[in-house]
Amino acid sequence: MDAPTIFFDLDGTLIDSRKDIANSVNLTRADYGLPPSPLDSITGMVGNGVRQLLLRAMPDHADEIAGHCNNRPWCSTGFSGSKSCPKSERL
């Protein structure tokens, strides 16, 4: 018997990972000597994947971003800022 497969959008549905996403973006910005961006600014840039997020966060470095997306250890932040979204416990 085959087990059913369920797909869902975890981020923004069950967890709020805005802080971890912002931390990762700001670590990448620091790699390029750029100052950190505020959480609200980065949150507004999210959508269409990591590459697009970095293009929005660092438009002056577009030529370098493709290689960086493949080399940055995105999990190095430890995801310490993520938390459950309100009401997700009921799911």
Please say if 9 is a catalytic residue. Answer: yes
Measured between alpha carbons, how far is residue 59 from residues 18, 35, 55, 56, 80 in Å? 20, 14, 5, 6, 27
Tell me which of 2, 9, 40, 60 is the catalytic residue.
9
Nearest to 63 by CA among 50, 54, 76: 54
Between CA 57 and CA 39 the distance in angstroms is 11
| Residue with the two structure tokens 């990448």 | 28
Kindly list the catalytic residues: 9
